[in-house]
A and B are shown apart, each in its own frame.
Chain A
Amino acid sequence: MSGFDIFAIALALVVIATLFAGVKTVPQGFDWTIERFGKYTRTLRPGLNFIIPYFDRVGRKINMMEQVIDIPEQEVITKDNATVTVDGVAFFQVFDAAKASYEVANLNQAIVTLTMTNIRSVMGSMDLDQVLSHRDEINERLLRVVDAAVSPWGLKVNRIEIKDIVPPADLVEAMGRQMKAERVKRADILQAEGQRQSEILRAEGAKQAQILQAEGRREAAFRDAEARERSAEAEARATQMVSSAIASGDVAALNYFIADKYIRAFGEIAQSPNQKIVMLPIEATGILSSLAGIGEIAKATFGESAASAAAAARRGSVPAAGAPPATPPPAGRG
């Protein structure tokens, strides 16, 4: 094999190798920086690219996709001196591959450190209660500060999220007790409130009942009075009717009624269970004389024949003083 043979083969190989070295296919999601003799010149975008072999070389292959970095746990002292353990995540994306390559030595470490120190400063300016309840505000403040700080590095922090905020165990226990006490207090208050309400309702009910009863009594009294009035009125009317009847009619009719009542009353006295004493009215004999009144009526009604019979019956009767007003003997008697 002559020197020329080797030269020819070597030449062909070198040419092919050179051609391949000049072609750079950059995958999507990455930007490659190109250094010419060590100095940055340009950035290769995803796709097919050409560089000049022997002069240029690929410097850094920068990931242009959004990336997530864990912010490790750290202890933070809040404004009210509670020590809490905090961790989080940061999302960032490189926008300028050259700056991200050469402006900062260790990008991820720089972002993590920056975020950690800012978490300390933001949370250190808040009370524990605020820290636990204002995560959005913390995230927002962190984002603004960190994003401004990383701008020279050609990247943008899209979000910073606090993941866990863990207060010390004894503090958590105290918080639990506080919440329990709070709830017990609420329950007690509610119960007392309920009792108060029920007492009030019961008293209201009793009051209503009494009012209603009084109203009932009042109403009843009114009606009783009315009834009495009505009956008195009726009595008066009846009396009036009787008196007008007497005025326009015969006294003998009145005598009949009275005698009838008289006898009935006497019958009732006789029937009373008290057998030893029989009450007799002073003018018991008046009863009999009242019968004469009846006779008079009969006479007036049925004529002489009946009258003579009545007179015969009357012969045994003894007229008595104090008898109910008897009819005056008719003319032509005896």
Chain B
Amino acid sequence: MLTALGGWGWLIAGLVLMGLEMLAPGVFLFWLGLASFLVGLLSFLVAWSWQWQLVGFAVFALAAVPLWRRLGRPRQDATDQPYLNRRADALVGRVFTLERPIIDGAGIVRIDDTVWRVSGPDAPAGSRVRIVAADGASLKVEATA
């Protein structure tokens, strides 16, 4: 098939792969398609055997990786729910009242009917603390002025 169609086969395969990328985004098919397309274009300029064309395709595909990582990576933060499964991060910036004092840098804050471990400067019960960062399942806090 490769020999029969010559360069056209590569071009067609390239377009098909690029099209498939739309159906299955982020699976590198677009870049494989691009490599295939490139091989197809080159086969018109340079007469090379299909074996070399395959090798060329492999090389281009590998070469596409750095390009892809720079350009083609879909943006990870494009979501309307950035805090899905990241509950601790969602609490950052909020202010709560200590039910019990923070002693030796560790304490407990009651949020949403459950308790969270917090770490921060010692503070008496009743003082208000702001959550500055999430560290796994515990929260870093600082005293609010």
Residues on A lying within 8 angstroms of B by beta carbon are: 4-5, 7-9, 11-12, 14-16, 19-20, 22-23, 25, 28-29, 45-48, 50, 64-65, 93, 95-96, 99, 143-144, 147-148, 151, 154-156, 158-159
* Total residues of chain B contacting the partner, CB 8 A: 33
Give the CA-CA distance A8 to B39 in the complex, in Å: 14
A122 CA / B115 CA spacing, docked (Å): 18
18 contacting pairs across A/B (C-beta < 8 A) = A5-B51, A7-B51, A8-B51, A8-B52, A12-B57, A14-B58, A19-B28, A19-B32, A20-B27, A23-B26, A23-B28, A25-B27, A45-B76, A48-B26, A50-B69, A95-B134, A95-B137, A156-B116
Check if B55 is an interface residue, CB within 8 A of chain A: yes
Q: Tell me, rounded to whole Å, the shortest Cβ–Cβ distance linking B48 to chain A.
A: 11
Nearest A-chain residue to B112, judged by Cβ: A158
- Point out the residues of chain A lying under 8 angstroms from B134, CB to CB: 95
A151 to chain B, nearest CB (A): 6
B98 to nearest A CB, angstroms?
15
The residues of B that contact A147 with a CB separation of less than 8 Å are 115, 117
Whether B51 contacts A159 by the Cβ 8 Å rule is no
On whether the beta carbons of B32 and A16 are closer than 8 Å, the reply is yes
**Which residues of chain B from 67 to 107 have a CB within 8 Å of any chain A CB?**
69, 73-74, 76, 84-85, 87-88
Q: Answer whether A12 and B115 are a contact pair too, CB < 8 Å, given A25-B26, A29-B85.
A: no
B54 engages A159 (CB within 8 Å): no
Q: Nearest Cβ distance between residue A152 and chain B, in whole angstroms?
A: 10
B54 and A11 within 8 A (CB): yes
For the complex, what is the distance from the CA of A99 to the CA of B138, rounded to whole Å?
Answer: 13
Residues of A within 8 A of B69 (CB): 50
Contact of A64 among B65, B85, B115 (CB under 8 A): B85
List 4 tightest A-B contacts by C-beta distance, closest first: A156-B137, A95-B137, A96-B136, A8-B51
- Residues on A with C-beta less than 8 A from B74 are 47-48
The answer to whether B137 and A46 touch across the interface, beta carbons within 8 angstroms, is no
Q: Are B57 and A93 closer than 8 Å at their CB atoms?
A: no
Which chain A residues lie closer than 8 Å to B58 at the CB level?
A: 11-12, 14-16
A14–B58 Cα gap in the complex (Å)? 9
Which one of A11, A99, A143 lies within 8 Å of B114 (CB-CB)? A143
Cβ < 8 Å to A, chain B residues 96-136: 108, 113-117, 134, 136
Q: Separation in Å of the B1 CB from the closest CB of chain A?
A: 13
Chain A hits for B115, CB < 8 A: 143-144, 147
**Closest chain A CB from B23 CB (angstroms):** 14
Do residues B87 and A93 form an inter-chain contact, with CB atoms below 8 A?
yes
